[in-house]
Structure 1
Amino acid sequence: MKNILNVKSIEKYYGNKGNMTKAIDNISFSVEEGEFVGIMGPSGSGKTTLLNCISTIDTVSTGNIIINDKDITKLKSKALDNFRQNELGFIFQDFNLLDTLTAYENIALALTIKGEKIPQIDSKIKEVAKYLEIEQVLQKYPYQMSGGQKQRVASARAIVTEPSLVLADEPTGALDSKSSRLLLERFEMLNQDLKTTILMVTHDAFTASYAHRILFIKDGKIFTELVRGKDSRKEFFNRIMEVVTLLGGDDNDVF
């Protein structure tokens, strides 16, 4: 199986010599094509910084990040913009939908930027909307949608360009439990049926239990790793909670 993501000995520093903070401390790991990987860790552990570096929002101080055989740490601004548009999909906690555009237009924007023709755009939007069960909201504006519908529209926007890697930052953080479950079930379907590769940061053990593998980050380092294997989701959840407890509390006050 091909590695979509290779993170090699990355470090990230903030500040200057007199007051320097090491947010990421020599982290290395890889993600295979078609994997669904979660990242968990206490507040301040470096998990968000790690995702920001992989998503090209931030840059590493040392080390290399290779996505689909391209070292993004060596790309210049224009090449990096093109890479971001073609290879990465983003799902954020606060949806990041444009309020003045309908759901259809929000999803179409990603394809328009890539230069897709109108017939192809329409076909791709209808296909992904059917898959995520958002056909009924395509002509609605964000203020007319529920939180769960907004997040599924945001997910459609992220995957409609067929990126190599989808990056999800606390995707259920603004959703109620029912909407969270529906979204995570769609994530499972995207991963299993379309082989979408997903890297997801979450503080929530229930959300993390939908992934195949969890990387736990502590003090800027990988603390441990859990692989779901043949476990049921409930069994995997219990194993995740054991690690959370080992780190010093339950997932509400530690993560």
Structure 2
Amino acid sequence: MNSQILKVDDIQKHYGNKGNITKAVDHISFSVNKGEFVGIMGASGSGKTTLLNCVSTIDKVTSGHIYIEGKDITSLKGKKLSEFRRDKLGFIFQDFNLLDTLTAYENISLALSICGQKPAKIEERVSKIAEALNICDVLNKFPYHMSGGQQQRVAAARAMVTNPAMVLADEPTGALDSQSSKMLLSMLEELNQKLSATILLVTHDAFSASYCKRILFIKDGRIFNVLHKGKDSRKEFFGKIIDIVSVLGGELNDVL
């Protein structure tokens, strides 16, 4: 039986004042189980990034509740919120955000050092994740001595080293060429399969979404449709994604 990692319960996020309210997220509910790779898809302005920002604790909901591992994160404030974000969430950014003055090992271990983990424990965790992502040979290198693919893997290792409940990625391929995009998406798939990472990926790109196991389509702040990959090949799943996108309003130019 799968354990529930995320439960989003009837959340709303409004901007503006009474005279002019924008409902960026409008009564959305869904859940994600451990080890799922879930995509959130929609055109620009659909509310998908606002939804991710609420889940990642960057933004506060207007109403409703979000539970991560059973904890109501909508009630957390200040230091408790920061600690929760640090300990339970991993982030993969478009431009990696590695610190140039630190080696790969230091970049990966930084979060553990901040938590006050003992050096022996840090070394054990970093070695394990580096082996899983095949980057043991770059641990002593600085980012500018690594290839783009190696930097991606170091960034992913940093996101995973704290054993987060969930990894969040917002348009991670947005600034990448097609080859780098494929590498990043294959690596997310690898994290999901090898390390049972629970991943929530926001994208407007059908190719990126085809790597997910389930996709929530967002339109006007609401869930418009849900698509499960099941036993489909990635090519078959991609075709079904395109079909739904065309129904969404023919915004194919926005997702290809």
Question: Does the TM-score normalized on the shorter chain lie above 0.5?
Answer: yes
Equivalent residues in 2 for 1:132-211, closer than 5 Å: 132-211=133-212
Kept in 2: contact 1:89–1:163 (CA 8 A):
yes
Query: Secondary structure in 1 aligned to 2:26?
Result: strand
Query: Secondary structure in 2 aligned to 1:43?
Result: coil
Which residue of the partner structure matches residue 103 of structure 2? Answer: 102
Which residue of the partner structure matches residue 30 of structure 1? Answer: 31
Kept in 1: contact 2:12–2:61 (CA 8 A):
yes
How far has the Cα of 1:250 moved from its partner?
5.4
Which residue of the partner structure matches residue 113 of structure 1? Answer: 114
How far has the Cα of 1:159 moved from its partner?
0.5
Query: Secondary structure in 2 aligned to 1:56?
Result: coil
Return the letter of the residue paired with 1:209.
S
Query: Secondary structure in 2 aligned to 1:66?
Result: strand
Kept in 2: contact 1:43–1:254 (CA 8 A):
no
How far has the Cα of 1:151 moved from its partner?
2.1
1:219 equivalent in alignment to 2:254: no
Which residue of the partner structure matches residue 88 of structure 2? Answer: 87
**Structure 2 Cα separation of the partners of residues 214 and 221 of structure 1:** 13
Kept in 1: contact 2:204–2:254 (CA 8 A):
no
Q: Percent identity?
A: 66
How far has the Cα of 1:251 moved from its partner?
4.4
**Structure 2 Cα separation of the partners of residues 141 and 215 of structure 1:** 38
Return the letter of the residue paired with 1:87.
K
**Structure 2 Cα separation of the partners of residues 97 and 247 of structure 1:** 37
How far has the Cα of 1:254 moved from its partner?
4.9
How far has the Cα of 1:100 moved from its partner?
2.1
> How many residues are matched?
255
Unaligned segments of structure 1, at least 5 residues: none
How far has the Cα of 1:35 moved from its partner?
0.6
Return the letter of the residue paired with 2:80.
A
Kept in 2: contact 1:39–1:215 (CA 8 A):
yes
**TM-score, with normalisation over the residues of structure 1?**
0.94
How far has the Cα of 1:211 moved from its partner?
0.7
Report the RMSD for the aligned CA atoms in angstroms.
1.6
**TM-score, with normalisation over the residues of structure 2?**
0.94
How far has the Cα of 1:172 moved from its partner?
1.8
**Structure 2 Cα separation of the partners of residues 254 and 240 of structure 1:** 10
